[in-house]
Amino acid sequence: MRKLDLKGNLFPMAILETQDLHVSVEGKPILNGVELALEEGKVHALMGPNGSGKSTLAFALAGHPDYRITHGRILLAGEDITHLPPDQRAKRGLFLAFQYPPEVEGVKLREFMRLACGDQGHGFCEFQQLYPKAIKHLSMDELADRELNVGFSGGEKKRAELFQAWLLRPKVALLDEPDSGVDVDAFKVIARAIRELAAAGTAVLIITHYPRVLEHVPPARVFVLNEGRITQTGGPELARTIEVEGFKAVQR
């Protein structure tokens, strides 16, 4: 059911929504009732102190089996995906760029992407057209012929994650600290790719500690997570307040 505001107008439809989401890791409750709504074609930011549960939320949304949903639901394009396995979520257009991208030996990035694009319903021809563009756009020439993330520097891993998102064009892209460990030049490439993803209709969630990334990719909404709950929601000014005054200023 679409919600109405006080004047009776329809709220914009969220492509991804969580309702009262509770998540436990190793039997320990980490998220305690997260309400999140992400809109198509918009950039959102999720901020919060270390250990507040940002990556836990990203993993739970992506379907990581160690992150157990004990209560609440996740809706993707109106469909309840709370209990779907990660590959089914990915096929429906949910993408997670990891805070710490894992190294996968024996699989070249190029091959990985060819398979992933097939899974997403991109025909082989479309992949052939898009792939060279993505390679050029994110300067991935040498990296794409190497095993996925194996021996990549921290910044190269982040660029490789954005390369995957840019090529896959997901409905929702959860980007867990896309700016951490990235130099200024690579950061501009990443920021441009994020803006383009949103312009192409992807709902983007940037998890970050630093408003710097948000200066380059202005968010429509900023959420603050604290002790497993969204405690504040606002516009870009909320990120600036956090930078100047710290998280204490926005905690409740």
Ligand X SMILES: Nc1ncnc2c1ncn2[C@@H]1O[C@H](COP(=O)(O)OP(=O)(O)OP(=O)(O)O)[C@@H](O)[C@H]1O
Judged by CB under 5 A, which stretch of 25-33, 91-99, 135-143, 234-242 contacts Mg ion? 91-99
Which of the listed partners (ligand X, Mg ion, none) does 233 bind, with a CB threshold of 5 to 8 Å by partner kind?
A: none
Which of the listed partners (Mg ion, ligand X, none) does 52 bind, with a CB threshold of 5 to 8 Å by partner kind?
A: ligand X
Between 112 and 210, name the residue whose CB sits nearer to ligand X: 210
CB of 58 to Mg ion, least distance (A): 8
Exactly one of 25, 75, 77, 116 binds ligand X (CB under 6 A); that residue is: 25
CA 92 vs. chain centroid, Å, equals 15
Radius of gyration of the chain (CA): 18
Per-residue mark of binding to ligand X, 92-121 (x: CB under 6 A): -------x----------------------
Exactly one of 42, 44, 54, 171 binds ligand X (CB under 6 A); that residue is: 54
- The identity of residue 179, as a single letter, is D
Q: How many CA atoms lie within 13 A of 101 on its CB side?
A: 31
Collect all residues with Cβ–Cβ distance below 8 Å to 148 and sequence separation of at least 6: 103, 104, 107, 108, 109, 112, 160
Tell me which residues in 72-91 interact with ligand X (CB under 6 A): none
**Largest distance between two CA atoms of the chain:** 57
Residue 189 is a binding residue for ligand X (CB under 6 A)? no
CA distance 64 to 60: 6
Residue 242 is a binding residue for ligand X (CB under 6 A)? no
Exactly one of 14, 21, 30, 206 binds ligand X (CB under 6 A); that residue is: 30
Token look-up 């709504």 returns 37
Exactly one of 20, 66, 80, 103 binds ligand X (CB under 6 A); that residue is: 66
Output the six-digit token pair for 87. Answer: 């590959």
Exactly one of 5, 26, 105, 141 binds ligand X (CB under 6 A); that residue is: 26
Cα–Cα nearest to 147, from 156, 139, 136: 156
Between 52 and 202, name the residue whose CB sits nearer to ligand X: 52
Tell me which residues in 138-167 interact with ligand X (CB under 6 A): none
Token look-up 């390369």 returns 163
CA distance 216 to 109: 27
- Residues forming contacts to ligand X in the complex (CB under 6 A) are 25-26, 30, 48, 50-56, 66, 99
